[in-house]
Structure 1
């Protein structure tokens, strides 16, 4: 069963399926009682029940919901939100492979499981939408993933191999399997939309965003609206960066700045990093001595330099007064690794046009469901026409 989040919101607001169905039955009984055959029955209906049934029916008519799913290497992360953008149920699922057919089937099953768990599987068409986001360029209107290339964990590369998609339609098959309208988007775009409603964007209507995970992605919000431009900042080449990238080229920003690049740089240092991942690398920078420790810190410096290139590029492209970046190591802000990484990131002015100055570059933590939440917000707006007006208390509830 999916993990439940904010279960109290569900109970308080009456989203349980028994209450929903009971309200509809009460309204039907009321309507039937207005006929001559039901005149006697109408006299026995308590006014408060009539009012409750009518209110509930109106609430259901106005209700809109969206499931957001984020595709990560060999797993899916999902969340269900209401029309105010509040996150109500979460779920996740591991993937046995990264084939398009399996990802589509698993995504549809996970989304339907969340909707059923919330007691909403009886709703008619037009009340639920689905958003799916991936770490690569997409054609949102056509529902097509233009390019998606991810490598498995370093210690499982020979077993699993690389995942590469070219022009794969996901929107139509997902809609066929769920009967819901579907929005396909880029992961950085989803995270920017999430920041718009639940992060720094609540007080700043224009900002650029840079996210660092396995790769590096970018997005831009202007006057509160997401730019449809593809911002594949991680695939920009730099002569200062020469590490091989998953895309097959060398020198891409994400090949150095992303977590894959960090771990690849350290793979020859110790096999421990294969299983410990980024956390293991951060810990090694604290505990190791001498040459090993220096190699670990050198990898984080290289990654920080790659991130500085990315920040400078976003400023040069958009001249945005604010760049929000989501680095992978904020959970250990005082660690040696974070200190070296962020110090190099602050050299972004070396890669920024001399005409630009006075920009804010601020970090934000990256939550495990933020991408899925952003995907749901995009689906809510693009496919159901709901523009969430989120008050401060709702913004806190949605986190």
Structure 2
């Protein structure tokens, strides 16, 4: 067994996933807990994290562990220790690193979960060898991270990469952030489900296949169900995913104008649609890219590490001290 293990913790809206990660990016042991309800006190969430780590330590020698990395869904300050805001938890200006450091015998680092996922893809996944990459996570919303000169770039205040809240439609759909026309209102899992529900609510006959899959429970409609239907050849499901892909390409063209990356890596649950999503995204990207035809174009690929990226990246950031 390696003596250079790190523990990674990925904290999302529904689960706290933990793993022991070796220096090759392999998860040797896993643990999982439900995320405490958003109204729960910060101390209860910290107890959950510690319990997850304690379960992992039952399977390894504590002396072989060198660091603990936390990837949190929220704004993490430039000090890499304070969670400024977490939408699904009670953290507000929470000094998470110092709170955990008093309970754990290893160095603790805290980062945004998208930054952690991006670092995992940079070291072990789809962005290996690329010095300038934009990693986009398509889930219920859109998150992301920047790799510039081979390093995660977090911005002056630690909160760079909130690409989902770029405005792409002035005066468009209202977003949870309070603004209108945000990118994630048009290119995300929520957008996919919203459009499908609108068609079902309108009684459109072209969604008959989706309705048949749902039976009488229209509320059970999810992004994965639409993706499954698309993979099975349902033309309406494919059209819906292609529309998400179009909007994805538009946003990436905007990011390319500002950042000039060599690579876009698309992860998150919606990326399970594969080329049904990425094909239209590439076409829209080419149409919308400023200076198209006279400049190099970034490649657009699917992430390789799936749901484990955040956990692996948090561990590797902690191990490497980045």
Specify which of 8, 11, 15 is matched with residue 68 of structure 1.
Answer: 8
2:303 matched to 1:369? no
Specify which of 119, 125, 139 is matched with residue 193 of structure 1.
Answer: 119
Match of 1:89 in 2: 29
2:289 matched to 1:352? yes
Q: Provide the secondary structure at the position in 2 that maps to 1:201.
A: coil
Match of 2:193 in 1: 263
Relative CO higher for 1 or 2, CA cutoff 8 Å, sep ≥ 6? 2
Aligned-partner Cα distance in 2 for 1:185–1:175: 15
Residues 135-178 of structure 1: per-residue CA shift (max 9 Å, x gap): 3331142512223325xxxxxxxxxxxx5754333222222232
TM-score by length of 2: 0.80
Q: Provide the secondary structure at the position in 1 that maps to 2:174.
A: coil
Specify which of 160, 164, 167 is matched with residue 237 of structure 1.
Answer: 167
Greater fraction of residues in helix: 1
Change (3 A) 1:285 1:233: same
Aligned partners of 2:245 and 2:281 also within 8 Å: yes
Gaps of 5+ in 1: 1-12, 16-62, 151-162, 384-399
TM-score by length of 1: 0.66
| Per-residue deviation, 1:110 | 0.3
Aligned partners of 2:165 and 2:182 also within 8 Å: yes
Change (3 A) 1:88 1:366: closer
2:269 matched to 1:328? yes
Specify which of 280, 287, 290 is matched with residue 225 of structure 2.
Answer: 280
Q: Provide the secondary structure at the position in 1 that maps to 2:58.
A: helix
Change (3 A) 1:175 1:79: same
Match of 1:45 in 2: none
| Per-residue deviation, 1:199 | 1.5
Change (3 A) 1:178 1:264: farther
Match of 1:131 in 2: 69
Match of 1:117 in 2: 59
| Per-residue deviation, 1:282 | 2.2
Aligned partners of 1:273 and 1:281 also within 8 Å: no
Change (3 A) 1:245 1:195: same
